[in-house]
Amino acid sequence: MSADPLVSIDHWGPEKVVIVSDRKSGMRGVLVIDNTARGTGKGGTRMSPTVTVGEVSQLARTMTWKWAAVDLFHGGAKAGILGDPRSLDKERILRAFARALADEVPRDYVFGLDMGLAEEDAAIFVDELNDRGASTGLPRDLGGLPYDQLGVTGYGVAEASDAAAQHAGIDLKNARVAVQGFGAVGRAAVERLHALGAQVTAVSTVAGCICDPNGLDVPSLVAASKAAGDDALREHASFTASPQQLFNIPVDVLIPAAAAEAITEEVARNTTAQLIVEGANLPTTARAREVLHQRGIAVVPDFIANAGGIIAAAHSSDARYSPFVVDPGGVFSMISEKLRANSVRVLAASQSQDISPLKAAHHLAQDRVMSAMRARGFTPESTPAG
């Protein structure tokens, strides 16, 4: 999608691009509301020194598909602030950004957390606009749901993996599972996979990689990770200081849950995995997707597999004005139900129509958005290409 807001407009959106600035604080930011046919614009707010209008536009479009894929009634949107999230002026900049978008928030858009922002930043948005509905991702003391602490995204990745494996005829209890990344998403995925009886045989972080063909001691590894972070892997006997080694280890299920474009064409050609479940955003290059499809390796796309976070966000959004705390049990139940069903549905459509799982996932989401657009009279003059 082009960085030029006018050039980026297509059949789906964006409906609104708001670029704001503030001379006193130096704040510069953008809000992109992509498509609200299915509901109010919802998507995280990020802060980075490299944020661009084009980047935020792409992310807003991804949110349109993500909400539709899990069949929850929000629209796609995203916001970005150009700046260093470690800046001593961060609070001043966030408050200026909130004030600048007071006409859009919370009527057209609800702030959320993304790269560079934390729970205390969501609280700043709420305080500045004096509106509990201005943001999700609030601290527990303000009625928020602690996404990372609960591990909702990783939990969903594991549930998607289990359902996809069953569909592909893979018994996780006898399969070798490798997880790239052991942060908030990867660690929670490993914990849930272990609870489901899976054998996690390899894990990597930026520090390196460890493996055990008989299965890693997950409880010990999780405890060590919480204490030492990425360096926890260094104490394992199999540790090698090469994170990429993970992709050379024979496995049956591979879960990239860290960096973008980790699955390259070379990895796609050489992996022994029969199933790949995308825990990270955009972890597979376009060429690698082609190779994996040609090899008949099933891939559960990122916006299907890692949608646990937005399901939790939907619960939080619904409870913004409620005096009651969201019940995590209901959140986990919905994550399991929706992500398991979607994973199987996408893989089945991919097989029956001989198209990539990503294309099947896009068809699923686009059909739902188009139906809503028609129902509301948003229908374009010509039918958009898939």
78 is catalytic: yes
Residues with Cβ within 8 Å of 220's Cβ and at least 6 positions away in sequence, in order, are none
SS (H, E, C) 19-69: EEEECCCCEEEEEEEEECCCCCEECCEEEECCCCHHHHHHHHHHHHHHHHH
d(CA 77, CA 62) in angstroms, rounded, equals 9
Q: Are 39 and 317 in contact (CB under 8 A)?
A: no
Q: Residue 278: which of 183, 351, 141, 185 has the closest Cα?
A: 185
d(CA 34, CA 41) in angstroms, rounded, equals 8
Q: Residue 121: which of 139, 107, 105 has the closest Cα?
A: 139
Residue of 78, 90, 226, 338 marked active site: 78
Q: How big, in percent rounded to 5, are the helix, strand and coil portions of the chain?
A: 45, 15, 35
Q: Residue 20: which of 5, 31, 7 has the closest Cα?
A: 31
What does 152-203 look like in DSSP terms, one character per residue? HHHHHHHHHHHHHHHHTT--GGGSEEEEE--SHHHHHHHHHHHHTT-EEEEE
Q: Are 291 and 269 in contact (CB under 8 A)?
A: yes
In the annotated binding site for NAD(+), the residues are: 153
Element (H, E) at 78: strand 75-82
Residue owning tokens 């601290």: 139
In the annotated binding site for substrate, the residues are: 42, 66
Catalytic residue positions?
Answer: 78
